[in-house]
Structure formats: C-alpha cells, structure tokens
Amino acid sequence: MDKVPSSDKKNAVMKWLKRVGFWGFMFFLVKGLVWLALGYWVFK
C-alpha cells in the first residue's frame, strides 16, 4: 500500500477548496448549522 505524503494531501485539500469556493463553503456551513438546530429542537 502506498503512503501519500502529507504535502500531497494538503495540496489536494487546497485544490478542492479552491474548486468549491466561498459559496460551497457557505452551503455546507449553513447545512451543518440547520442539522444541529434541528437535532437540538427534536431532543429538547
């Protein structure tokens, strides 16, 4: 099994983040916050 150097892994993450961009980040942030709020409301 090949080991992937951490620098290659970091570059892959940065490439993905640049491709997704600001709106992709905002989408997943809001989605996560909505699920947390929904879970809080259900189990309250």
Cα 41 to the chain's mean position, in Å? Answer: 23
Q: Where exactly are the structural domains of the chain? A: 1-44
At 21 the pLDDT is 85
At 35 the pLDDT is 97
- Measured at the CA of 29, the angle between CA 21 and CA 44, to 5 degrees, comes to 175
At 8 the pLDDT is 83
Query: Cβ neighbours of residue 17 under 8 Å, at least 6 residues apart?
Result: 25
Q: Which of 14, 37, 34 is nearest to 26 (CA)?
A: 34
pLDDT digit string (tens) for the chain, length 44 residues: 456 566 788 888 888 778 778 888 899 999 999 999 999 999 88
